[in-house]
Amino acid sequence: MDTLSAAAIIELNKVKKQLLTQPRVGVNGKASWFKAVLRWCDEHEIELGTQESRQFWISRDGILAIEQCLRLHGQGSVASQAQKRLGERSTVSSSNEKIAQIKPMQRRILCASCDLGQRLNQQQFFNLTAPPAQVIVDLDCRHIELTHYDYLVVIENRDSFNDWHRYLPFTQGLANALVVYRGHEKTHSKGCKALKARWQQLKGDNGLVYFGDADIAGLGLAMAGEVSYQHLLLPPLSLLKANLDPAQVNAEYDYSRRNLKNQLLRSWLEVYEILNQRAALRQQNMYNLSLVLY
């Protein structure tokens, strides 16, 4: 049986509580959790409610049908699943592992290495026709010995992370670095967040590098979270100016957020002034460009 995500369980439980006093409850029909629920209901032939313009109205019968389906497959009620999500994985009896507090990827992190020895080992182990350009390893962030590294480089985009070997020859001042993927969520993935916290505890405010798009949104991401970065990895100012493109600006981002300037490190201010002219350079367009630390 396909499982409902933790977000869907929590939101459905909120709706269920409101249905105690209302005949139906309206939700945002474009919300990602709701779209997943609607697909799940379609697969199980459940009529959840009615669509009216941008809002979807969930009925009592719809929630009742969901719970009947869950019980049929031994997963309990929506309320019990939402409550169990707050407990440890060992106490969760539901077959839906996504509602557990410790999720499968919560402590995992993707790391990239261009070490020749590792590449040759992977070629031999998997019988590849040639050594891969780089090796990507899924690790438990708690077991990485950070004392062996001088820098922790967090890469914003997954395709750029996969192509780290293409950037590495052009980087300057980045010796002995642990290179990881930031995560696909709007905020930092939990594994990356935990790794950054460990790094700060061990290394203090030193050596944490953000490598992402050269735009105002990217600067905002570098300053976000409980642990801020100390460095940006970008082309030198002259090269950055020469390659900036207004067409690469994120049209959905609000560039009027001028208060960001007051939060930036002094060494990032010149970058900010350039990018604030509504010009940007996507990470995927930095191939073959020299990259330095700010």
Shared domain for 284 and 240, answered yes or no, is: yes
> 67-125: per-residue pLDDT in tens?
888 887 777 788 888 877 655 343 444 444 444 444 556 788 999 999 999 999 999 99
Asked if residue 13 belongs to a domain, the reply is: yes
Same domain, 214 and 244: yes
- pLDDT for residue 187 is more than 60: no
* 59, 94, 129 - which closes a domain: 94
Residues 83 and 118 in one domain: no
Residues 134-148 have pLDDT tens digits of 999 999 998 999 999
Regarding whether 274 and 138 lie in a shared domain, the answer is yes
Query: Do residue 116 and residue 258 come from a single domain?
Result: yes
* Structural domain ending residue among the three candidates 55, 71, 94: 94
Q: Is residue 1 assigned to a domain?
A: no
User: Who has greater pLDDT, 259 or 24?
Assistant: 24
pLDDT at position 174 = 92
125 with 254, same domain: the answer is yes
Neighbours of 279 (CB within 10 A): 19
**Total structural domains in the chain?**
2
Average pLDDT of the chain, as a whole number:
85
**Residue 144 belongs to domain spanning:** 108-293
Q: What percent of the chain has pLDDT over 90?
A: 49
For residues 28 and 164, membership in a common domain is answered with: no
pTM higher than 0.75: no
In angstroms, what CA-CA distances link 178 with 109, 112, 141, 195, 226? 11, 8, 12, 11, 20
According to the model, what pLDDT value does residue 261 have? 81
Q: Are 236 and 213 in contact (CB under 8 A)?
A: no
Do residues 79 and 22 share a domain?
yes
Q: Which of 183, 259, 179, 250 is nearest to 213 (CA)?
A: 250
